[in-house]
Amino acid sequence: MTMREFREILRNVDRSYDDFVSLVITYIKIPGNRSKALQIRDYIESSPFADSSDVLQFMINELGMADVSDTMAMGVI
């Protein structure tokens, strides 16, 4: 899956918005997180009624995504 394809998947999530797409893309660019893009894609594909909030909740609960302020403190955002 290319980054362009992944962005398109994220844009097609119900209630998607630019900051949501940017946050997810930034998250998978963190060293060690690239493989999590496949898990996010699989979640979206297996949960057709999930909206952007559900995807973020999945990332927090299942993938261990740090609080956004932690990510900002690391200089990633």
Using one digit for the tens of pLDDT, what is the confidence trace for 13-60? 999 999 999 999 999 998 888 899 999 999 999 999 999 999 999 999
- What is the structure's pLDDT at 73? 53
Closest Cα partner for 5 from 27, 36, 37?
Answer: 37
- What is the structure's pLDDT at 32? 87
Closest Cα partner for 40 from 16, 56, 19?
Answer: 56
d(CA 42, CA 20): 17
pLDDT of 77 higher than 60: no
